[in-house]
Structure 1
Amino acid sequence: MTRKYTIGIDFGTESGRVLLVDVDTGEEIATHVTAYKNGVLDEMLPNGQSLQPDWALQHPGDYLDVLFHSVPEVMRLAQIDKKDVIGVGIDFTSSTILPLDQQGNPLCLDLKWENHPHSWVKLWKHHAAHKEADEITRLAKERNEEFLHRYGGKISSEWMFPKILQIIKEAPEVFEEADLFIEACDWVTYRLTNNLIRSSNTCGYKAFWNKEAGYPEASFFQALHPRLENILETKMRGEVRSIGEKAGELTEEMAHKLGLLPGIAVAVGIIDAHAGVPAVGAVHPGQFVLAMGTSTCHMLISDKEEAIEGICGIVEDGIIPGYYSYETGQVAVGDSFAWYVEQAVPSYVVQEAEEAGKSVHQVLEEKASTYKPGQSGLITLDWWNGNRSVLVDANLSGTIIGLTLATKPEEIYRSLLESTAFGTRKIIENFTEAGVEVRELFACGGLPQRNKLLMQIYADITNREIKIPASNQTTALGAAMYASVAAGGYNGGYDTIFEAAEKMAKVKEEVFVPIVENVKIYDELYKYYLDLHDYFGREKYEIMHGLKKMRMIDDVEPGQNDRKLEVQM
């Protein structure tokens, strides 16, 4: 019997990864990574034009580079016949959106618009639309909109409509010029198939869409802004299809560029972290998945729908068909560790790492592992890029309590690790207190594979065993699994994601088990974390909000005498 293969394409924050997988066994045959040439544009456009704080843009050409470089390369590495590839699946960071012209091309690629920041891709961590997110929340509350409870009662600045509303207010000319606003994953499937399909996954979690009700009524959008009245029929048009279905078939033009056969299935796109859920085999109620990287996305499969504070989304059939899928998240996890290493670690630690032939992270992990819980005397809030769950407040910031003149770098590093685990425990407790069961924990992504201390801390703080996937490429594997379902059992794939998970998903035998004595100490430290969480996040949030506004001072070029210090408190 001829072996069949699918390709999963994982578009991350800094690079794109392509994975070729054996459909029958889940064996990963070949992989290739293409780094984005332009990376994250958070300080300036490629032409050097400065960006305001909280902006995060990308160049859509980087996504095409992944397709045109990495897909042919995995085919070359695998040395298989292209007729045996039956499908392609896409996963993407979200909500990452872009405006398109009437030909389906990104506006920023047009010379007329390339100098306009609002014409570029707005990456998921573009937080400059927080005012618009708050405006949407207020209006939804005033109108008692039913959709609001599915997002924990508060809308995030990361999502699609806050970003669109920001464009309307700050760049109405870009809004008028845009023929479509689209998630990046849907744009890629559009390019591959020439078929305009929107993903139920991204629409459900990031654009207020619901399986039964669809989008909110036009009257809501009109009340939000007059220019939004007909947006669903105009700039948001496109059929919504469920994950696991086909978005279309690979066109001849794209097949030629990718080195594949035309006509093979292209799966409906999915949010990157969500693709990791079936890849670890978590397709049943009570299974909680942490997709850990620069940020962490938490996903939970359940057979019931409950209104829970700080939920990023509850979507029926959102990740696994037949169930409600919950999403929460932490916006700075690996990013916070990286910030400390890149911006705050003393030079002697860097030198020690260089002499040992290790990374700074490795040296700090080794040193931090010699400490017992609580020994550093530090407690940290994990809000270095705002709080996504449960407070949903992009204006919050990080805090370290307990610093002294004797505090060492490894103590701070360990406290940063612990803070993210405390944040995850708070999220888990939010579920269990609402009566939604959490039975098993799975951790996927780059961090669980690299940092054993981090995962032991998570096990100790949550007092739960944590399973790790056997694959290092869980999101790309998940995308490949959905591609196998889009191709269908009749074509050598699978009829359901449950069948695909049974055959293709694998976890390691190694499990991180809580250490009893550590659990007891962390229970005490967690009380301090909750005190700080509620003080700075609920009671006195104005402190952090005010400090952030101070950073937003309207400044002119350095050296000029007419420097303005305009701060609206």
Structure 2
Amino acid sequence: MRKKYVIGLDFGSLSARGVLVALNNGKILTEAVTAYKRGILSATDVGSKELPPDTVLVDAMDYWYALRQLTGKLIEQSGVDPKEIGAMGIDFTASTVLPVDRNLIPLSEKAEYRWHFHAYTKLWKHHSASPWAEQLTELLKKYDRELLAVYGNRISAECLIPKVLEIFEKDRKVYDGAAYFLEAADWLLCKLTGKQIRSASFALCKGLWREKQGYPEAGLFAEIAPELENIPEQKLGAKNALYIYPWEKAGTLTEEAAEELKLCADTIVTGAQMDAHAGLPALGITDAGKVLLVVGTSTGIIFQGKSRKEIQGLCSIADYCDLPELIGYAAGQASTGDCLEWFIKNSVPGYCQEQAREAGKDIFSWLSEQAEKLKPGQNGLLALDWWNGNRSCLADQELSGLILGLGLETRPEEIYRALLEACAFGVKRIFKEVEQYGIPLKEIHACGGITQKNPLFMQIYADVTGKKIIVHRCEQAPALGMAIYAAAALPSVKGGYGSGAEEGPQTEAVRHAALSAASANMQSRDFEVYTPQEEYHRVYESMGEEFDRLYDYFGMENHVMKKLKQRQW
């Protein structure tokens, strides 16, 4: 039976989103959003008086409940016959990691582990694993510099294995009780298909895995502790797992999963993709030279190259992690929307809230209106956007935010604008680092909730970087991207864009052609272009020089931020 529709699902930090999409033209028939049931957990939620700094925990069952809700809503709202849905794809934050038993039950669901906070799912921005990330960095300098270069020469606490090592050191009962430590995306795929699936993109970019070499050699792990020598086989399931790319079929739904999701058991499930990367095909990015900015709680900066360059401080540099035949480069900022939300919650006085209410506006819109009245440099402020550490290109979670130039006359909207500018300067610094390696960044495509809601922010991006910013109005670009990946995995004989054969080897060229065709027919075509204002760009060029001085001084020359962080408790 030829299928007519595919589903794309996007699991973010605080909520999940889904779209039901027509295979022939990419029309989104309906979409759904659901907030997670429990959200980020407090110390009391996990039986603790307090949690260590930078600990960010969630309940894995939030994801399963959200998945069921989303597919149910999509079917109900659209009235589509589930038999007409051919495939589904999911994206996820990374690395969001959980320990499970052999039956894929999260340890946090078992009574004996309920008050062990390390049994809960560690969200991607759980940065208390930084010491173990540093340890891995030093060991890879000794054992495998080539692998270290894949991660910009520094392993991040946002990767999978540092989080696992933290559990080994801090709660041996949880470590010993876990059959597997899984990416949350892979946990869902295993439950959906009944197979031991590992998403190749996650493993390449966050898991220290390479397609030909596998994981680092046993000696590296044994140097940390003898019990860790065989950790890839014993705790990551490396020996029996299938590593699947997002444009490939991972399996079909089990009967049980199909019943829970209100779908059919012949529905194809693809390999998962990282959330910041998932929007590529949705915005028509299937070749080198184009950049994807995904602006949300954090910012993902994704671009492709035809050759490999070792760029210091990138999150990952991996073959085929995003698109067949291309080298995928990933960078980013650890705090964008989170930084702005922190400011709103903690530093905006009551009179601003009152004036916003009187104007019938939310506080973000009101502050943006006030900030737009200011010219570049008028506030006398300059900030570093490191509220959650620096992801690129310093790759240092021990760094912290900074605002320079505060005075008794400083107003909230001036600080707000300085934070917007700091985020834009951070993006420009990443572009600068990349372009000096000869990688052209010709087109900048932006998506994400903030890009829709904050025109001032997007104009500041253009003015600071000196580049046109193409802002796509597709509110669910990552979810649409996963629907397009699913369409590429669905064979053409069933209505998709894949090769006629469901199984068997395919060349990367064939896969690239399938994904390119799916993207060409299904991508979002609704966008707005922000063009740099030359007068403002000149001012920002001068301010950017001062930003770079602050960046270098606090990021590399002076360790006061790290010393303060170490005193935190």
Aligned length: 551
Instruction: Specify the SS of the correspondent of 1:16.
Output: strand
Which residue pairs with 1:559 in the alignment? none
Which residue pairs with 2:78 in the alignment? 78
Which residue pairs with 1:565 in the alignment? none
| 1:543 maps to 2:560 | yes
Instruction: Specify the SS of the correspondent of 2:279.
Output: helix
> What are the equivalent positions in structure 2 for 1:329-348 lying under 5 Å apart?
329-348=332-351
Matched-pair contact (CA < 8 Å) for 2:472–2:528: no
Query: Structure 2 residue aligned with 1:250, among 253, 263, 276?
Result: 253
Which residue pairs with 2:524 in the alignment? 506
Shift of 1:42: 5.2
Which residue pairs with 1:297 in the alignment? 300
Which residue pairs with 2:544 in the alignment? 526
Alpha-carbon distance between aligned partners in 2 of 1:242 and 1:219, rounded to the nearest angstrom: 28
Which residue pairs with 1:557 in the alignment? none
Query: Unaligned stretches of 5+ in structure 2?
Result: 499-513
> What are the equivalent positions in structure 2 for 1:149-168 lying under 5 Å apart?
149-168=149-168
Instruction: Specify the SS of the correspondent of 1:357.
Output: coil
Instruction: Specify the SS of the correspondent of 1:276.
Output: coil
Letter in 2 for 1:90: I
Which residue pairs with 1:87 in the alignment? 87
Matched-pair contact (CA < 8 Å) for 1:3–1:24: no
Structure 1 residues 282-312: Cα deviation after superposition (integer angstroms, max 9, x where no partner): 1111111111100001001110111101110
Which residue pairs with 1:466 in the alignment? 469
Which residue pairs with 1:358 in the alignment? 361
Which residue pairs with 1:230 in the alignment? 230
Letter in 1 for 2:352: V
Matched-pair contact (CA < 8 Å) for 2:245–2:272: no
| 1:38 maps to 2:38 | yes
Instruction: Specify the SS of the correspondent of 2:278.
Output: helix
Shift of 1:224: 2.8
Which residue pairs with 1:452 in the alignment? 455
Letter in 2 for 1:522: Y
> What are the equivalent positions in structure 2 for 1:166-565 lying under 5 Å apart?
166-237=166-237, 238-495=241-498, 496-540=514-558, 542-552=559-569
Which residue pairs with 2:4 in the alignment? 4
Which residue pairs with 2:510 in the alignment? none
Alpha-carbon distance between aligned partners in 1 of 2:399 and 2:172, rounded to the nearest angstrom: 29
Aligned pair in 2 of structure 1 residues 295, 151: CA closer, same or farther (>3 Å)? same
Matched-pair contact (CA < 8 Å) for 1:211–1:316: no
Matched-pair contact (CA < 8 Å) for 1:49–1:115: no
Instruction: Specify the SS of the correspondent of 1:340.
Output: helix
Shift of 1:404: 1.1
Shift of 1:225: 2.5
Matched-pair contact (CA < 8 Å) for 1:467–1:508: no
Task: Normalising by structure 1, report the TM-score.
Answer: 0.95
Letter in 2 for 1:292: V
Alpha-carbon distance between aligned partners in 2 of 1:430 and 1:406, rounded to the nearest angstrom: 36
Instruction: Specify the SS of the correspondent of 2:191.
Output: helix
Shift of 1:246: 1.1
Which residue pairs with 1:136 in the alignment? 136
Which residue pairs with 1:116 in the alignment? 116
Structure 1 residues 184-204: Cα deviation after superposition (integer angstroms, max 9, x where no partner): 001101111111110110000
Aligned pair in 2 of structure 1 residues 118, 80: CA closer, same or farther (>3 Å)? same
Shift of 1:90: 0.7
Alpha-carbon distance between aligned partners in 2 of 1:470 and 1:361, rounded to the nearest angstrom: 19
Letter in 2 for 1:502: A
Shift of 1:522: 0.3
Alpha-carbon distance between aligned partners in 1 of 2:350 and 2:66, rounded to the nearest angstrom: 36
Instruction: Specify the SS of the correspondent of 1:232.
Output: helix
Which residue pairs with 2:26 in the alignment? 26
Which residue pairs with 1:148 in the alignment? 148
Alpha-carbon distance between aligned partners in 2 of 1:439 and 1:350, rounded to the nearest angstrom: 41
State the percentage of identical aligned residues. Answer: 40
Shift of 1:506: 2.0
Matched-pair contact (CA < 8 Å) for 2:2–2:494: no
Alpha-carbon distance between aligned partners in 1 of 2:31 and 2:180, rounded to the nearest angstrom: 33
Alpha-carbon distance between aligned partners in 1 of 2:407 and 2:137, rounded to the nearest angstrom: 41
State which drifts further: 398-407 or 215-224: 215-224
Instruction: Specify the SS of the correspondent of 2:284.
Output: coil
Matched-pair contact (CA < 8 Å) for 1:395–1:548: yes
* Aligned alpha-carbon RMSD (Å): 1.3
Aligned pair in 2 of structure 1 residues 456, 195: CA closer, same or farther (>3 Å)? same
Matched-pair contact (CA < 8 Å) for 1:333–1:382: yes
Shift of 1:499: 1.0
Alpha-carbon distance between aligned partners in 1 of 2:115 and 2:50, rounded to the nearest angstrom: 10
Alpha-carbon distance between aligned partners in 1 of 2:563 and 2:186, rounded to the nearest angstrom: 38
Matched-pair contact (CA < 8 Å) for 1:301–1:326: yes
Alpha-carbon distance between aligned partners in 1 of 2:564 and 2:473, rounded to the nearest angstrom: 43
Matched-pair contact (CA < 8 Å) for 1:245–1:486: yes
Query: Unaligned stretches of 5+ in structure 1?
Result: 553-569
